[in-house]
Structure 1
Amino acid sequence: MSTKSAALFDANRDRQIPLELYFPAQQHRCTRESPCSVAFLSQGYGLRHTDYSFIANALAASGYLVVAIQHDLPSDPAISKTGDLVANRTPMWRRGIENLRFVRDSLSRTYIGFDWPGLVLIGHSNGGDLSALAVQESPALAATLVTLDNRRYPLPRTPAVKVLSIRGSDFPADAGVLPTVEEAVAGTCIATIAGSRHNDMNDHGPTDLQSEINTLLLSFLEDGRCGA
């Protein structure tokens, strides 16, 4: 496996988008005729896009091209923490969605040996919220959504997109974020890790939690299994 630090420039928005790319070990086997999988990682607010290498490395070892995207820049307004959080944070999420689309459109022209229609979106906390909104608005953007304890924006309720949400144990999600028993749809998995903390779901958290997250993630991506 190898990694590459890069940045894309979206001229229409005058915006730099820092990236970290994690390549599969057998990248030469990724061809247009036999494409390899691709996943985008969106970081939690206040964290760096490189703070999820435990996920990126596990996916790259499983044959994925992983693109970690830095959505928040020092020049951006601070995240809203009061009032209607969904309404107040939607402009930030839409900025992230534009990043996702721009990165996908740009890299798909360069890395042709990958399954871009089967894109997997993975996001922690605020990164999970923006990814959920992206899939809700544009189901064709990705085939699978994985969130790590997103708490504000509702998960999609559609069988058109496979959904895994790995939940921490210290903070509840807002009302309506998680599907009820009546709303549950095929291909959606909600998995809570006992004793886990929202702020630990990154490289700075305990290694046993990282291992549990990767086990749930890889099991779901490989065969749709809900749980280890």
Structure 2
Amino acid sequence: MKIYLRILVVLILTSCTSNVKLSNSKLATKNYEIKFDSINLFDKSRNRNIPVALYLPKTNEKIENQKVVILSHCYNQNKLGTNKYYSFLTENLASKGYFVISIQNELPTDELLPTSGDLKILRKPIWERGCENIMFTINEFKKTKPELDYKHLILIGHSNGGDITMLFAQKYPNLVNKIISLDNRRVEFPRTSQPKIYSLRSSDQIADEGVLPTIEEQEKFKIKIVKLKNTIHNDMMDNATKKQKAEMNKYIMEFLNE
């Protein structure tokens, strides 16, 4: 009888331990509900509006060392609201606890993006303006949200927004922890280990010569580049299929969790 009682106690303890582990596992992989907001920042020094979309985890709990992601959208003929074309990505990041800021870099009153000539020269003022938008946004949120983790800042950009992101990393490498480019094609990747650099490349577009690091440079600086065999350049946003979105989010979360 004593032997049976001992076996029963061991089984109960084993069951309790298993339940505790499962509970902890669920907690670690918990997804937050999403809260969306939008605000208009104003840079007096440039007399410029900077519309911003915010994607936030909805919780009453304080998220310690909450990391900030700043997203820069592709070029879309200066149409307002283009910064909201990446909800598949921004909402997923917010659900994981990130504080996501998506900047509207182009305004209807801005000059159109040059499409001919020496694009690296003609487009640089537009990329510079985007960098100024990012810097102003960072400084404004440091005032209003000082509790956020700005030491591990993450920048993500698609296409022309990716060029802005890469230029920002060149100019201010010590301000950024990780850079993720979604198929930028004009601005060269910084050849550096800081910030950490990642990129998803489309199946149909080729970057200008010298933009992408060589295999040797990728190994030296630990730059990670992934080619998406089934996703074209223009599908790296909300018009992507469910499968394409899942693949992009998978790689991006892998980059951020390294």
Using structure 1 for the length normalisation, give the TM-score. Answer: 0.93
The aligned residue for residue 226 of structure 1 is none
CA contact (8 A) 1:161 1:187 kept: no
The aligned residue for residue 56 of structure 1 is 90
The aligned residue for residue 8 of structure 1 is 41
- Paired with 2:132 and 2:217, the residues of 1 have a C-alpha distance of 29
Provide the alpha-carbon RMSD of the alignment: 1.2
Bigger Rg over Cα = 2
- Paired with 2:46 and 2:165, the residues of 1 have a C-alpha distance of 20
The aligned residue for residue 200 of structure 1 is 235
Superposition pairs for residues 69-148 of structure 1, below 5 Å? 69-148=103-182
Give the counterpart letter for 1:202 in structure 2.
M
Q: Quick check: 177-186 or 191-200, which moved more?
A: 177-186
In the TM superposition, residue 101 of structure 1 has moved relative to its aligned partner by: 0.2
Superposition pairs for residues 116-195 of structure 1, below 5 Å? 116-184=150-218, 185-195=220-230
Q: Are 1:25 and 2:58 matched, yes or no?
A: yes
**Any idea what SS the aligned residue of 2:253 has?**
helix
CA contact (8 A) 1:26 1:63 kept: no
Unaligned runs of 5+ residues in structure 2 are: 1-33
In the TM superposition, residue 96 of structure 1 has moved relative to its aligned partner by: 0.3
The aligned residue for residue 216 of structure 1 is 251
In the TM superposition, residue 142 of structure 1 has moved relative to its aligned partner by: 1.1
**Any idea what SS the aligned residue of 2:180 has?**
strand
Shift in CA distance, 197/27, structure 1 to aligned 2, threshold 3 Å = farther
- Paired with 1:101 and 1:2, the residues of 2 have a C-alpha distance of 24
- Paired with 1:27 and 1:157, the residues of 2 have a C-alpha distance of 41
The aligned residue for residue 7 of structure 2 is none
CA contact (8 A) 1:146 1:163 kept: yes
**Any idea what SS the aligned residue of 2:120 has?**
helix
**Any idea what SS the aligned residue of 1:195 has?**
coil
The aligned residue for residue 37 of structure 1 is 67
Spell out, residue by residue over 1:124-145, the C-alpha distance to the aligned partner (whole angstroms, 9 max, x if none). Answer: 0000001100111110221110
Spell out, residue by residue over 1:7-58, the C-alpha distance to the aligned partner (whole angstroms, 9 max, x if none). Answer: 100010000000111112336323xxx3111100100000600000111011
Q: Which runs of 4+ in 1 moved over 2 A?
A: 25-28
Give the counterpart letter for 1:161 in structure 2.
P
Give the counterpart letter for 2:138 in structure 1.
R
- Paired with 1:193 and 1:50, the residues of 2 have a C-alpha distance of 22
Give the counterpart letter for 2:201 in structure 1.
R
Shift in CA distance, 152/2, structure 1 to aligned 2, threshold 3 Å = same
- Paired with 1:181 and 1:187, the residues of 2 have a C-alpha distance of 10
How many residue pairs align between the two structures?
220
In the TM superposition, residue 189 of structure 1 has moved relative to its aligned partner by: 0.5
CA contact (8 A) 1:129 1:153 kept: yes
CA contact (8 A) 2:191 2:221 kept: no
Give the counterpart letter for 1:26 in structure 2.
T
CA contact (8 A) 1:129 1:152 kept: yes
Using structure 2 for the length normalisation, give the TM-score. Answer: 0.83
Unaligned runs of 5+ residues in structure 1 are: 224-228
